[in-house]
Homo-oligomer: A and B are copies of this chain.
Amino acid sequence: MTKFHSDNAAPVHPNVWEAMRKADEADNPYDGDALSSELDGRFSDLFGRECAAMWVATGTAANCLALATMCQPHGAVVCHEESHIEVDEGGAPGFYLHGAKLMLAAGDGAKLTPDGIASLIDPIRDDVHQVQPHAIAITQASEYGLTYTPEELAALSNFAKARGLGLHMDGARFANAAAGAGGSAKEAAHGVDSLAFGFIKNGAMSAEAVVLFDPEQAAMVKYRRKRAGHLQCKGRYLAAQILAMLDGELWLANARHANAAAQDIAGACGNRLMHAVEANELFVRLSPVERDTLRAQGFEFYDWGADAARFVTAWNTRAEDARALAKAISSL
């Protein structure tokens, strides 16, 4: 069986294991260790602007802690109607934001645009009966595997500033997005106020980074992280994972590998593709019979509605498996 279900259950990369084992030696609890202390500087270098960075164990926590810096309990976060924070996080934003709303915007490929957001929020009356937007959350790569260009991000960032809204990026697959667009973390996070930088799907075990481009918000996030039960006492093992992923740009190499596998498969899909393949996800029109055929050959994946399937590649997807899937799709 070769698995294309998701990248979220892939094994841990050997470099990450090694870094974690080495962290046995350190012994300051919480985030008082030397590894955790490196994060601010390492991410500031990576993004070319000063930022604060903290580990947490899940993307859900990373997104919600960042959003809490920009959305009051009586406000709302504008997000795509198919975004992960709306659809798949079990109501976590409502919990972390103390009852703030998610406002659902439409947009092709699960991407938001200034126009799409404006058409949602412009009709909101400026009175207390209606919840007002405080922030925007976008996903890079989007829930359909599409990426935002620096130009698109600049437009969103300018729009957000003009409206007095914060701009957060859910980067569960940020590495794949950056890899798909030339490899610049800086460009892939252009103009955002905060980023949940995902490492778990890309080779780590249990560490994502909350990156705040307004470092003054770091204190609040640290208090909230503790309050949410996310300050692990052996935090050095999380810091070690992230540092291992940053070292030698392992995050980028792993993402490029996954994206390349996705491209191999995409080449066989032709106009079966529902969306461009810009990262490591493929949404492919396949009839039930066709899906049965593929599954009979040992390929595992999720259905996507009645007439399609989703395939996800990962840092450990073997090239031969990707080619085999491509061939199988071509042969349908």
Looking across the interface, which residue of chain B has its beta carbon closest to that of A28?
A: B9
- Interface locus among A97-105, A245-253, A323-331: A97-105
Given contacts A8-B234, A206-B232, 8 further A-B contacts (CB under 8 A): A11-B24, A58-B229, A58-B232, A73-B95, A74-B90, A90-B131, A128-B223, A206-B206
Mark each residue of chain A from 75 to 118: 1 if its CB lies under 8 Å from any CB of chain B, else 0: 01000000000011111101111111100000000000000000
What separation, in Å, do the CA atoms of A56 and B58 have in the docked complex? 12
Q: Which residues of B contact A26 (CB under 8 A)?
A: 9
What separation, in Å, do the CA atoms of A128 and B222 have in the docked complex? 7
User: Could you pull out 17 A-B pairs where Cβ atoms are within 8 angstroms?
Assistant: A12-B237, A57-B232, A58-B233, A64-B229, A74-B220, A74-B227, A76-B91, A87-B129, A90-B129, A94-B100, A97-B99, A128-B222, A128-B223, A128-B225, A132-B223, A206-B238, A228-B228
What separation, in Å, do the CA atoms of A226 and B88 have in the docked complex? 10
What separation, in Å, do the CA atoms of A147 and B205 have in the docked complex? 35
A294 proximal to B (CB < 8 A): no
Task: Identify which of B11, B95, B131, B236 contacts A228 (C-beta below 8 A).
Answer: B95
A3 touches B27 (CB 8 A): yes
What separation, in Å, do the CA atoms of A58 and B231 have in the docked complex? 8
A25 proximal to B (CB < 8 A): yes
A9 touches B21 (CB 8 A): no
| Distance between A199 CB and nearest chain B CB, rounded to angstroms | 11
B74 touches A98 (CB 8 A): no
A229 touches B17 (CB 8 A): no
Size of interface on A: residues with Cβ below 8 Å to B: 68
B220 touches A206 (CB 8 A): no
| Distance between A230 CB and nearest chain B CB, rounded to angstroms | 7
Mark each residue of chain A from 115 to 134: 1 if its CB lies under 8 Å from any CB of chain B, else 0: 00000000000001111100
Q: Is the interface of A mostly helix, strand, loop or mixed?
A: loop
A234 touches B9 (CB 8 A): yes
What separation, in Å, do the CA atoms of A299 and B220 have in the docked complex? 35
A234 touches B205 (CB 8 A): yes
Q: Which residues of B contact A98 (CB under 8 A)?
A: 73, 95, 98-99
A29 proximal to B (CB < 8 A): yes
Q: Interface residues, chain A, CB within 8 Å of chain B?
A: 3, 6, 8-12, 17, 20-21, 24-29, 33, 56-58, 60-62, 64, 72-74, 76, 87-92, 94-101, 128-132, 200-201, 205-206, 220, 222-234, 236-238
| Distance between A263 CB and nearest chain B CB, rounded to angstroms | 23
Per CB-CB distance, the 3 closest pairs between chain A and chain B, nearest first, are: A61-B229, A94-B99, A90-B226
Task: Identify which of B12, B57, B225 contacts A24 (C-beta below 8 A).
Answer: B12
What separation, in Å, do the CA atoms of A28 and B8 have in the docked complex? 9
Given contacts A98-B99, A99-B97, A232-B206, contact A90 B227 (CB under 8 A): yes
Given contacts A98-B98, A234-B8, contact A227 B24 (CB under 8 A): no
| Distance between A135 CB and nearest chain B CB, rounded to angstroms | 14
A220 touches B97 (CB 8 A): no
| Distance between A30 CB and nearest chain B CB, rounded to angstroms | 8
B132 touches A92 (CB 8 A): no
